[in-house]
Amino acid sequence: MIPFNKPHLTGKEAHYMYQAVYNGKLSGNGEFTKKCQRYFEQRYGFKKCLLTTSGTDALEMCAMLCDLKQGDEVIVPSYTFVSTALAFLREGAKVVFADSMKRNPNLDAETLESLITPRTKVIVPVHYAGVACDMDAIMAIAERHNLLVVEDAAQAIDSYYLASGDGRAPKPLGSIGHFAAFSFHETKNITAGGEGGLLVVNDERFVRRAEIIWEKGTNRAEFFRGEVNKYGWVDMGSSFLPAEINAAFLWAQLENLDEIQTKRKALWNCYYEHLSKIITDYNEQNTSARDTSLNKAVPFALPDIPAYAANNAHMFYLILPSLEARTALIKHLKENDILAVFHYLSLHNSQFYKDKHDGRSLLECDRYADTLVRLPMFYDLSLDDVTHICTLIKELYINS
């Protein structure tokens, strides 16, 4: 069986975890936590980085830093994981769901401004599959309306926003909004030992409060820097710090990030090459289906990478023409010991939130919920494995 995901071990994880134990500092914010945080700040230019126990915790810290009041509105894509919305609901906000783009599952920036009201406080773009949202458009809208932007970059480590032809350098995802949240869950490109996350603060105004919230509402960080002669409870907060052994595990992964990314991109490109050929062959057999738009009888659509986005090879997905077609593909692969899976259900249709949604149709979100399928994608997958998976997919669509 080829699984959908398998966490990669670089070989140094246990060594660094032992070192953390031997150092006698296990509770967090030790040597490995600080090394990881410095790594992100130096490599990507993030203003302030704080490791968290999960991407969900990082989002919850973002929501707390936004200082929301009861009834404030936060715009969130409906096609995302529940944590994106839940973090802001916990702060008393009203979540306003946005639709996806036609070309990919990211938030549709062209319809974003129509959702803004006098109660809107925050926009939360989710960089689905590590592919950038249209951040120039989103930041321009946020600036016009004096809104905060929280980048949900859970899937977007080592991915970039490419400014369109104006000479600007590429910007790492997570460095553009006021805040960002990353995940180091075992399904991500790198992991902190199963769970882990990172809060990024790019706006100097929020750095001090971020440290306080991170330290259970205390000014403990200022005390250890010698800025105050004692520390106490000064604000809201919680226990967001990960254990030092998780930071040690993550450090082993960060040391090998470039190697991990190179391999994942090779796998992604192999998928793309083989599956593009299947579409070409299918169209040659079915001359009436040369139009590859989704309303024609084509087998599937490939991932879309806009000109302003890089690809960090977090995921390889296909868009099928219908729910039935997706079910048939997943079944065919499973019968041949390949585990492919669908992804999110639209949050606005969820049991928890559907009676709170304003009734707007979010057709693209619902389409992706019915038709998107994710293929196996992990470091230890081989190019031969990818070729085998694509051969099985070809059997379903191309007459021999």
Q: CB of 155 within 8 A of CB of 130?
A: yes
Q: Encode pLDDT of 216-231 as tens digits.
A: 998 888 877 888 877 8
Q: CB of 208 within 8 A of CB of 181?
A: no
CB atoms within 10 A of CB 392: 17
Residue 4 lies in a domain: no
> Which residue numbers in the chain have pLDDT < 50?
289-290, 292-296
Residue 83 lies in a domain: yes
Assess whether 248 and 262 both reside in one domain.
no
CATH code (residue 137): 3.40.640.10
Q: How far apart are the C-alpha atoms of 157 and 125, rounded to whole Å?
A: 15
Q: Of 310, 390, 314, 375, nearest to 340 (Cα)?
A: 375
Assess whether 332 and 242 both reside in one domain.
no
Residue 6 lies in a domain: no
**In one letter, which amino acid is 34?**
K
CB atoms within 10 A of CB 310: 19
Angle between helices 323-335 and 383-397 (to 10 degrees): 130
Residue 302 lies in a domain: yes
Q: How far apart are the C-alpha atoms of 14 and 219, rounded to whole Å?
A: 33
CATH code (residue 365): 3.90.1150.10
CB atoms within 10 A of CB 279: 17
Q: How far apart are the C-alpha atoms of 82 and 124, rounded to whole Å?
A: 13
Predicted TM-score (pTM) of the model is: 0.95
Q: Of 82, 66, 175, nearest to 122 (Cα)?
A: 66
Q: How far apart are the C-alpha atoms of 125 and 117, rounded to whole Å?
A: 17
215 beta partners? 239
Q: CB of 80 within 8 A of CB of 152?
A: yes
Residue 8 lies in a domain: no
Q: CB of 157 within 8 A of CB of 26?
A: no
Residue 235 lies in a domain: yes
State the total domains in the chain: 2
Q: How far apart are the C-alpha atoms of 1 and 337, rounded to whole Å?
A: 4
CB atoms within 10 A of CB 169: 9
Query: What is residue 287's predicted lDDT score, i.e. its pLDDT?
Result: 65
Residue at a domain's end among 195, 226, 254? 254
Residue 389 lies in a domain: yes
Assess whether 140 and 261 both reside in one domain.
no
Assess whether 275 and 213 both reside in one domain.
no
Assess whether 388 and 245 both reside in one domain.
no
Assess whether 123 and 29 both reside in one domain.
yes
Residue 7 lies in a domain: no
Q: How far apart are the C-alpha atoms of 318 and 292, rounded to whole Å?
A: 13
Assess whether 244 and 359 both reside in one domain.
no
Assess whether 285 and 388 both reside in one domain.
yes
Q: Encode pLDDT of 65-123 as tens digits.
A: 999 999 999 999 999 999 999 999 999 999 999 999 999 999 999 999 999 999 999 99
Assess whether 213 and 300 both reside in one domain.
no
Domain range for 220 is: 13-254
Assess whether 17 and 137 both reside in one domain.
yes
Assess whether 243 and 268 both reside in one domain.
no
Residue at a domain's end among 201, 220, 254? 254
Residue at a domain's end among 254, 280, 315? 254
Assess whether 45 and 124 both reside in one domain.
yes
Q: Of 231, 196, 195, nearest to 212 (Cα)?
A: 231
Determine whether 205 is exposed, middle or buried from the number of CB atoms within 10 Å of its CB (0-12, 13-18, 19+). exposed
Query: What are the angstrom distances between the C-alpha of 366 and each of 79, 84, 99, 350?
Result: 8, 17, 9, 11
